[in-house]
Amino acid sequence: MSPFMSNRIRPSFALSFGVLASIVAILIVGIFILKVDLHVLLILGAVVTALASKYIGYKWSEIESAMGTGVGRGMVAMFIFILIGMIIGSWIHCGTVPAFIYYGLGFLTPATFLPLGLVVCSITSLATGTSWGTAGTVGLAMMGIGAGLGVPAPITAGMVISGACLGDKMSPLSDTTNLAAVSAGTDLYEHIRSMMYTTVPSFLIALVAFTVIGIRYAGGSLDADAVLEIQNAITAKFHITPLLLLPMILVIILSVMKVPAVPAMVAGAFLGTLMSVVVQGASISEALSAINYGFSGESGVAAVDKLLNRGGIQSMMWTFSLSFIALSLGGALDEMGFLSVLVEGILSKVHSAAGLMTVAVLSSIGGNAAMGEAYLSIILNGRLYYHAFEKVGLRRSMLSRALEEGATLTTTIIPWTTAGAFMAATLGVPTVYYLPFALLNWINPLLSIVLSHLGIFMFYREDKAETAAKA
């Protein structure tokens, strides 16, 4: 229970539902009808939450403190925004991303690009444990390759996100993978084994689907002249050599060695800075400025300029401010008890294991939408459903699976979450455009719910050992 609730009246189920429904209505009307920026809509949602909190007896100082708590919980994720901006700016300026695009255009074809791209992004994310790092490096290069091969940007972005999120969900190096296991009170590798039963089939379905989609672009769709034009534009601006792939390789190696994400990313950014000076002949001032302001240059080819003129810390400020507001709103909803009251009301109507799995997945998705951050949704829902899963006899790894399939996978397909905003800004494709093609991200939760109702891959405690050992 939130410390703020100890001396206050708990919100009623009706009020809690009304607050959440109002926020959802504001977002839907604002996004799809009025076309208003997300920042303003989330502030309006925070106003509704604050007024409801005041109505049940909270002081303004307590409301402000709750919002600050929400921001504090997501501060590490927000700092990652800055690091990714640094890496993108540095790696474009030094030629790492242009080199990846240049070489990729040389051996990929429209027919093989999507399935092979999915595999490459998946391997990268599994090795590094980060969907953001994968999308901001390999994924960004894939966007350039896809453009050169004539594949629409939303389809490429969906492929990148599907591959990037596989590792974010399954890698033992991923923060959300570890967080879900801890929140559910299960062993990390038991958690991963449990997820494989639903994730592997989902990934194979996505792989087949991207292969079929890729076939549509086979044959005459490859514009060799356009590919050559992009490659020439790149070589006109950058000295291309395989050595430029070293910053990307360094980050992967450090991640495999279990070096924490922050120092690994900083090392990758500054190796890129060094290579800007050594390989591209930039001045130290220019190379360091790229970390803050990103790359800026004219190649004479619009597609190349659109892809490469980006990056830097300042490019992430729109996303950073959106995350700040979303986390503030999520902190108030959590600390004032609106979310927990809703979940408790729903749990009173659920008595079957399949129903509980369904509610846990959907609640984790709702937590993403309400709080704007998968970390918060995983922690909150792990706390809320911990005893409910024990009551119906399900293993704790089933809860951790539900947390990941609801929270980790869907956070990138909700526009106002930190991950959704980051992916849209990094890949240059609005969330609503790439959402249909982020196949793994919505196939996996749906398949998980269907299988639970069919009684397939549902794992129950065989004895009372887990109950006796519970924390």
- Lowest-pLDDT range, 2-16, 100-114, 144-158? 2-16
Q: Which two tokens stand for residue 182?
A: 């801890």
Give per-residue pLDDT as tens, 436-453. 999 999 999 999 999 999
Alpha-carbon distance 433 to 157, whole Å?
A: 9
Reply yes or no on whether the pLDDT at 6 is more than 50: no
Neighbour count for residue 293 (Cβ, 10 Å): 16
Domain boundaries, the chain: 76-316
Question: Is the predicted pLDDT of residue 5 greater than 60, yes or no?
Answer: no
Q: Is 185 a residue whose pLDDT tops 90?
A: no
CA distances from 311 to 269, 415, 425 (A): 12, 20, 10
DSSP letter (8 states) at residue 348: T
Closest CA to 470 of 403, 389, 353, 358: 389
Averaged confidence pLDDT in the chain: 84
**DSSP reduced 3-state for 457:** coil
Reported as a single tens digit per residue, the pLDDT across 110-151 is 888 899 999 988 887 885 667 887 887 778 888 888 888 888
> What pLDDT does residue 297 have?
85
Q: Which token pair is 160?
A: 């990148």
At 453 the pLDDT is 92
SS3 (DSSP) at 460: strand
Amino acid at 158: G
**Neighbouring residues of 167: CB distance < 8 A, sequence distance ≥ 6:** 122, 124, 125, 126, 127, 128, 129, 130, 131, 134, 173, 174
Cut 0.75: pTM above it: no
Average pLDDT over residues 376-400: 83
Cα 153 to Cα 134: distance, rounded to the nearest angstrom: 17
What digits encode the pLDDT tens for the residues 309-321?
878 899 878 768 8
> Using CA atoms, how far apart are residues 397 and 81, in angstroms rounded to an integer?
30
In which band, very low, low, confident or very high, does the pLDDT at 239 lie, cut at 50, 70 and 90? very high
Contact 279, 243 (CB under 8 A): yes
pLDDT band for 470, please (50, 70, 90 cuts).
very low
pLDDT of residue 464: 45
Q: Would you say 237 and 102 are in contact if contact means Cβ atoms under 8 Å apart? A: no
Tens of pLDDT, residues 271-303: 999 999 999 999 999 999 999 998 988 877 776
Residue 365 pLDDT exceeds 90 = yes
424 Rama sector, left if φ>0, alpha if ψ -120 to 50, beta otherwise: alpha
Among 180, 156, 168, 106, smallest CA distance to 132 is for 168
pLDDT at 77: 67
**Residue 405 to residue 130: CA distance in whole angstroms:** 16
Structure tokens that stand for 125 in this block: 């994310």
pLDDT, position 1: 45
pLDDT (tens digit per residue) in 33-92: 887 877 888 899 999 999 999 999 999 999 999 999 888 877 776 787 788 789 888 988
CA distance 228 to 428: 23
Report CA-CA distances (Å) from 171 to 13, 26, 159, 322, 403: 38, 36, 18, 28, 15
Cα–Cα dist 343/471, whole Å: 22
Q: Cα separations (Å) of 21 from 11, 15, 25, 269, 417? A: 15, 10, 6, 43, 17
C-alpha to C-alpha distance for 142 and 114, rounded to whole angstroms: 9
> What confidence tier does 465 reach under pLDDT thresholds 50, 70, 90?
very low
Q: What is the CA radius of gyration of the chain?
A: 23
Other CB atoms within 10 Å distance of the CB of residue 168: 30
The residue-averaged pLDDT of 28-32 equals: 78
Phi-psi region for residue 45, left (φ > 0), alpha (ψ -120 to 50) or beta?
alpha
DSSP three-state, residue 394: strand
Q: Tokens in use for 181?
A: 């296991």
